[in-house]
Structure formats: C-alpha cells, structure tokens
Structure 1
C-alpha cells in the first residue's frame, strides 16, 4: 500500500484482546494505518503478549492482566467466556494508568483508541480521558448484529431444541438452524447476556465501528449494523489482503510445511486445522485421525498442543496409526496458515470456521469442510455451506466415516469440482475489493480521513 505523509505526527493507540484470532487482525489493521502515515502504539496484556520484535515500527506497552502463572499454565482459553470476564475485571485500572501516561508523555497527538469490541471498560476509560474510541469487530458483521438478539433466544422459544425442530431456521438469526444455537450461547449463558448488552451499549457510544469484512461478503449486514449501532461503519477487510498475519502468530510455526507441500501434486492435499482456541475430546481426535487415514488423501494436519483435552500432543495415536498416517500426511504443531492456503498443493481446508480462517480460505480460493466449534463459527460455517455454497458442512459430526466421505467428495468427486468453481468466483469478487478503487480500499481511505477528523 502506498504510504501517505499527511498524517505524520499523529498517533493511534490499539488494544487487542489477548486471543490469537483477535491479535492478528488488530496488528494487521495497525500495518494498514501505519501505511497511511499514522504512528502506532499497541497496549497489550501480559497474557498472550504479541512479539514486539516482529513489529519494529510500532511501540508496545504491556499492562498487567491479573492472571496467575497457574491460571495461564492451565490454558485459560479452554473457557474463553470466563477468561474474557476475568481479564475485563482485572485490566481496567492498569489500562487507564497506561493510557493516561501515554497521553501525557507522547510527543505526537494521539487521535484515537482502537480496541476490540470484547473489551467492556474501554469506552468509559476513553470518555474519562476525552479520547475518541473506535471499535474493531474481528468477526462477521452479521454476527455482531445478532448481539441484541442472542440473550433473547430462550425467551423467544428457540431453546431448548427438540429433535423434530433441529433443522428449523432461526428467523431472527439467519441462516442459523435451531440446532446451532446451543453452541452459539455455550455453557455460560448467564454471563453471556450481560456481556453482550454492555458490548452493544458501549459500541453505540463509540466513534466508529471497523469490520474485517467487505461489501462483497455482507453488504446488507453492514447497512443493518449502521442502523443498530448508529455510528460510522468501515468495512476494510480482508486485512490479510494487504498484510500477512504470519508475523503475529503466538505459536512457533513449523517451517517444514511448505517444503513438504512442494513435493505434493496440485490441489491434492487437504489442510486440517481447528484454530487456536477449539478443544476436542480424545474420541473426537481419534475419529479425525481415522477419517483422514481412511480417505487415502494427502493431508497436512495441525494438532496444536492443548487441542485434545487431557493430552500433550499426539500420544493418543497408536504406533500403527502414526505409521499409516505418516505414509500419506504430515502432522505439525502449528503451520504458517496463509502460506499453506496459498500453496498450489492445497485442495481443501477442514476448518473450525473462525472468521480469520474462513476469510483466508476464501481469499486463496480453497473450498472448505466445515467443523465449527461454537460462537460465531456456527454462523460462518452456515454461510460457507448454505449461502455461498463453497464448502461441505459436517453438522458437528466428528465421525470417521463422515470425515472420509467429505474429504473424498471435496477432493476427488465431481461435486467437489462444482464447489471449487463457486469458490473461484467468490475469490475473484473479494480480490477486487482490496484493489485500488475497490470497496475495501475506498473504505480504508474513508477510515483514515475519519480518524483525522476526530
């Protein structure tokens, strides 16, 4: 992106939530704004601190988050709702102190704070300091629009769900089905309602809302977001269309992935990754292993340490199964995902459908097998399979036969080729959005001018 100098002397402060799926887009947005001439300061928690050395052009300030070493070592991401609630309680005072000092000491004018919509106290802090606050939403606009609706799902009679109604549509939350709802609200329904209500209220008081999306993916939802939140809306994604997220990874990436892919045939490999937060059981892990093994397709499988509850890594696999899997595939602890998806050898992506992964797959034209874990992943997977029709939905069935069937269908059967053709059309539409004059590119210019006006 062409850098402009008219914003020199102006600084933007960014404050990501300490989750991989939130840190990467925030730092990508930082790169976009830096390319427009803004100086960047990133305030972050001690937990999941980004690697400052990977971003030498930015200033990083760390604050305490109140998490003990024991809590961090016990993998707090196994219960994300509880983690967010705890950090929101603990981080407000350290954040206020840090921001006050920064405002006093900065040699440049600090134009605004940009933070994740999952922070509940930042609007009040910014108002107390007379600093405009903008909100970054790291998931689909369609999902944020549902925040006022989600706490009402039970009172509207959508929950609990009977077997006979499982496939019924949720009229206020399309294209979800009733069976999706329990995994949207999760196990912390009582905590969830207040969290969502505060998020909506503080976003409505903000100076603007930024989405890592574009008009080509959800034009109607962006218009609805403007009606709900009544603040300026900026759809400037997909961010990695401008800058890679690889330097923002919290995990060590296995750099042998790409050389291994170099030795595979075009569109022959199924890439498997369930992201940075999802946890699965031992039985589910084994079903995926046998499904991949039985498909006979080459695969690259990311098994993140901590992915399988109660296991260190892949020790649950028998020696015989490990040897059999090794003949066709490669198992790694973490992969440089954007490089992998862009590789000519990748023909499909078995994914949890986090919004980052979904966007990256679309941008590289890689059709998906959808195995969502919960939260916004349910909505993303429905759009992939039912609206855009660029993937196959496993409907939550982690079953070896279903996985084998889906992999074969996507990789070698005619139905898979039809899905791939639709994906290529969608890929081209999104590619146009980030080019000069495209909807996302124009929105970035509008965002830069908006920040200047604050």
Structure 2
C-alpha cells in the first residue's frame, strides 16, 4: 500500500552545495518532493545561504563552513575538501538527534539526498545506516566524458595539445578533445579532482535533472556503469512551484522593456553566476552586439569584468550607438525572460540549468562555454540537438554574425522550429504517462520502500 499513511511526513534531508547551479535544482527537487507528501529539511552551508522565506514549507539547517566566498581558483579541490570536512560532524550530530527523536516511528526512516559535491553526506548516511541518494546537477552526457578522464590522462592525451583540439575523442562520439571537461588541467590537479569525485562511493540511487528523450544514450550508459536506479526527472524548473532560487537580486524592470520589443527579436545574453571576462572581451562583446543591429538584454554581473566594479569599461560611444535598442543590467529573472515572447535567442555559457530552461521555453542558443560540463553541453546543443550555434571566438565580426544567423537568417528560423519541437517533448514528458512523470513516481515509491 502506497497510501498517504505511509508517506505522510516521511523525512528527507537534502544536503545542498553553495554553488548557484547546484542549489537551484536542489531547491526545486525539495519543492517537488514536498508536494508528494514528504517533509523536507534542507541542510546548507552558511556560504550562499538560500532565503528561508522563499520556502516556508522547508526546515532549514545551517552548516557552518568557515568560508566567505567560493574559491574557484587552482585551490578548488582544496576548497571542496575543506568544505566537506567542515560540515561533516554538524550533519552527523543533527541526524543522530533526529533518529533518536523518531525511534518510535518505524516507518519514518530518514533518507538523505545530497549534491554530488557534498560527498560527506554519503559517509554520514552510511555511518548511521541511512539510505543516501545523489542529485546530479550536470547533464547526463557530461558523465561518460568525466569518467573517461583517468584513462585519457594515463594515455597522455590530456592536457590536450592544440593540434588535437578539433579531433574526435575515440569512444566519446560526438565529443572533440576541446569539448572535454578540464581538458587543459595539469595532470596532478586532474588527479586530485578525480579522487574527490570518487569519494561518493555507493549511493542507493541517482537523481538526474534531465529527460529520457534528450539524453537516452547517456542515461543507458550510466545505468550500466553505476548499476543503481537512475531517475531522470527533469526539467525540475517546470515541475517545481517555487519562487526565485537566485543568490543575486533580480532586476524585474527588464520585463516591461521586453514588452515593448517585437516578437522573437531580442538576444538575451547571460554567462551565469561564476564566469568572468577581461576588458578586451567586454569590448568585443559590446561592439558585436551593437553591430548586429538587434535588440539585446545583456547581463553583466558586478565584478565579473576583471578590475571593474560594473560596466565602467564599456567602450566609448557604445551607449550612444545602442540607445533604445539595448539594456545592460546586473542580473535578470531568467525564467521570466526566456518565456517572454520578445526573446528570440539566448547567448549562454551553457550551464545545465540554463540549457534546460532554454530548451523548456523553445529558445535557440549561442553557445560560449566556460568550464565544467559546459563544453559538453555546447557540443550537444550545436551538433546533436542542433538548437545552438557554437561561438568560435569572441571577435566583433564573429559575435555580429552569430546573432544575425540566429535571429534574422533562415538558419536561425530552422533552429527555432527544432527548439519549439523540443519544448513540446519536454512538456509531454511531465504529463501523466510521460517519462519524467513516471520517473518521479518511481522515485517516490523507491524512497518509501524502506
């Protein structure tokens, strides 16, 4: 019997990481599972804490991590290790207390769902004989490439030589060497990162924010590799009824500006919450946008341009050139922007959340990947799904051409038709009988089965 008695208030402890791209799907997953009758405790770092007032249905547990900012430099692996070490005992103490309090409720065994970066949670769950499930916030297609890195390093193929960048990687079709994650990382740093990844040993299941139709081949490979249930329940952004998950304040004034633009005419530019650029790259981007003659909504995060506070390095004459046609802002309500009828394309870093949001709204993309799984996502968007244009380099003429190809030329219209078709498939996967609907149902059953 699955009845309400079995699942009413069954406790789930979700362990989130302080990265925006990881926190977003974890909060969305919490909202989805709460709507299925589970009680949700969100354990999160003090660094980049979510706003509890946006999620009154959750209990929040703050873990002191002793960091004031994310260290994305060469010390990244040391940062992750310290983050995990600093949070471990606090979570263990909390869960021990919860277990003691709930001893008379035999059906209410706690299940821990943790971000893959927060591998300490799996160790804590194992120590306390609790079941742990991993949430993966990257694309499924990224993982076969990531899992191949030790072999490629051992074969001397990594770091990649310039002469090999365009070559296809054997056994990883359609990826080229340039699409591999960490393709320029020194071997010793890569070894540290892979060792960290292996700290998640034996989850009882894996949740992936994706859809079967989109990544069927990769999901099939991963099911064979991991030999545990894999639940593909994306796109979470379309399943979850939760407010903004953004760490940065969103400028909603841009929506009234979009209201005044022609349908499908605007290029929306946002390179995510971590990417940075130098003054030259800012200049090339600015003049590329100006020369395209298309309306644009351009997100420039404060501090994202090296050496500047915000946009003081914008080239002279740019503001006058684009007056009335362009809007530069600090952060946008992306979900609202991508669903707006005026937006015809999304110039993106191809983080997985942004990729799913664009696919869910039928918006084709210009792909400028920066790190992690983004190069893999860009390759799939441009070469496999054919709803994205790869930006070969950041030069004015290349930028101008890409924007016009996407928004004006016939090539862009064909991409838009494919994007709209994918949007429809994504929508149907969430309906009764669809793959994500069924996968969520299976996840609920799996979580209740202990």
Give the TM interval when normalised to the shorter protein.
Answer: over 0.9
Question: Which of 292, 302, 307 is the matching residue for 1:295?
Answer: 292
Q: For 2:98 and 2:396, locate their aligned partners in 1 and report how far apart those are by CA, in whole Å.
A: 54
| 2:36 is the alignment partner of 1:41 | no
Partner in structure 1 of residue 391 of structure 2: 394
Equivalent residues of 2:136, 2:207 under 8 A apart:
yes
Offset of residue 106 of structure 1: 5.3
Equivalent residues of 2:255, 2:337 under 8 A apart:
yes
Gaps of 5+ in 1: none
Taking a change above 3 Å as real, the CA distance of residues 452 and 186 of structure 1, as seen in their structure-2 partners, is: farther
Question: Which of 83, 91, 108 is the matching residue for 1:87?
Answer: 83
| 2:110 is the alignment partner of 1:111 | yes
Question: Which of 68, 71, 96 is the matching residue for 1:76?
Answer: 71
Q: For 1:98 and 1:224, locate their aligned partners in 2 and report how far apart those are by CA, in whole Å.
A: 37
Partner in structure 2 of residue 224 of structure 1: 221
Q: For 2:185 and 2:242, locate their aligned partners in 1 and report how far apart those are by CA, in whole Å.
A: 31
Equivalent residues of 2:159, 2:183 under 8 A apart:
no
The CA RMSD over aligned residues, in Å, is: 2.1
Equivalent residues of 1:6, 1:37 under 8 A apart:
no
| 2:193 is the alignment partner of 1:195 | yes
TM-score by length of 1: 0.93
Partner in structure 2 of residue 369 of structure 1: 366
Q: For 2:254 and 2:36, locate their aligned partners in 1 and report how far apart those are by CA, in whole Å.
A: 34
Equivalent residues of 1:145, 1:228 under 8 A apart:
no
Equivalent residues of 1:66, 1:91 under 8 A apart:
no
Q: Which SS does the other structure have where 2:446 is aligned?
A: helix
Offset of residue 91 of structure 1: 2.0
Offset of residue 382 of structure 1: 0.2
Question: Which of 389, 408, 414 is the matching residue for 1:412?
Answer: 408
Taking a change above 3 Å as real, the CA distance of residues 188 and 259 of structure 1, as seen in their structure-2 partners, is: farther
Equivalent residues of 2:282, 2:314 under 8 A apart:
no
Q: Which SS does the other structure have where 2:135 is aligned?
A: strand
Structure 1 range deviating more: 216-225 or 358-367:
216-225
Q: For 2:169 and 2:241, locate their aligned partners in 1 and report how far apart those are by CA, in whole Å.
A: 36
Q: For 1:77 and 1:264, locate their aligned partners in 2 and report how far apart those are by CA, in whole Å.
A: 38
Structure 1 range deviating more: 232-241 or 304-313:
304-313
Taking a change above 3 Å as real, the CA distance of residues 327 and 154 of structure 1, as seen in their structure-2 partners, is: same
Partner in structure 1 of residue 96 of structure 2: 100
Q: For 2:178 and 2:260, locate their aligned partners in 1 and report how far apart those are by CA, in whole Å.
A: 41
Q: How big is each residue's C-alpha offset from its partner over 1:302-358, in whole Å with a ceiling of 9 and x where there is no partner? A: 111232122211111145223333331111111110110000000000000000000
Q: For 1:365 and 1:245, locate their aligned partners in 2 and report how far apart those are by CA, in whole Å.
A: 21
Offset of residue 373 of structure 1: 0.2
Q: How big is each residue's C-alpha offset from its partner over 1:16-44, in whole Å with a ceiling of 9 and x where there is no partner? A: 11111001100100011011100100000
Partner in structure 2 of residue 133 of structure 1: 132
Taking a change above 3 Å as real, the CA distance of residues 214 and 66 of structure 1, as seen in their structure-2 partners, is: same
TM-score by length of 2: 0.93
Equivalent residues of 1:5, 1:37 under 8 A apart:
no
Partner in structure 2 of residue 66 of structure 1: 66
Q: Which SS does the other structure have where 2:223 is aligned?
A: helix
Aligned residues: 444
Equivalent residues of 2:266, 2:294 under 8 A apart:
yes
Q: For 1:235 and 1:86, locate their aligned partners in 2 and report how far apart those are by CA, in whole Å.
A: 31
Taking a change above 3 Å as real, the CA distance of residues 295 and 209 of structure 1, as seen in their structure-2 partners, is: same
Equivalent residues of 2:16, 2:44 under 8 A apart:
yes
Q: Which SS does the other structure have where 1:43 is aligned?
A: strand
Taking a change above 3 Å as real, the CA distance of residues 451 and 6 of structure 1, as seen in their structure-2 partners, is: same
Taking a change above 3 Å as real, the CA distance of residues 190 and 227 of structure 1, as seen in their structure-2 partners, is: same
Q: Which SS does the other structure have where 1:144 is aligned?
A: helix
Structure 1 range deviating more: 427-436 or 145-154:
145-154
Q: For 2:249 and 2:408, locate their aligned partners in 1 and report how far apart those are by CA, in whole Å.
A: 33
Equivalent residues of 1:185, 1:375 under 8 A apart:
no
Offset of residue 215 of structure 1: 0.5
Q: For 1:63 and 1:161, locate their aligned partners in 2 and report how far apart those are by CA, in whole Å.
A: 39
| 2:359 is the alignment partner of 1:358 | no
Taking a change above 3 Å as real, the CA distance of residues 97 and 302 of structure 1, as seen in their structure-2 partners, is: same
Q: For 1:121 and 1:189, locate their aligned partners in 2 and report how far apart those are by CA, in whole Å.
A: 25
Offset of residue 160 of structure 1: 4.2
Q: For 1:320 and 1:221, locate their aligned partners in 2 and report how far apart those are by CA, in whole Å.
A: 48
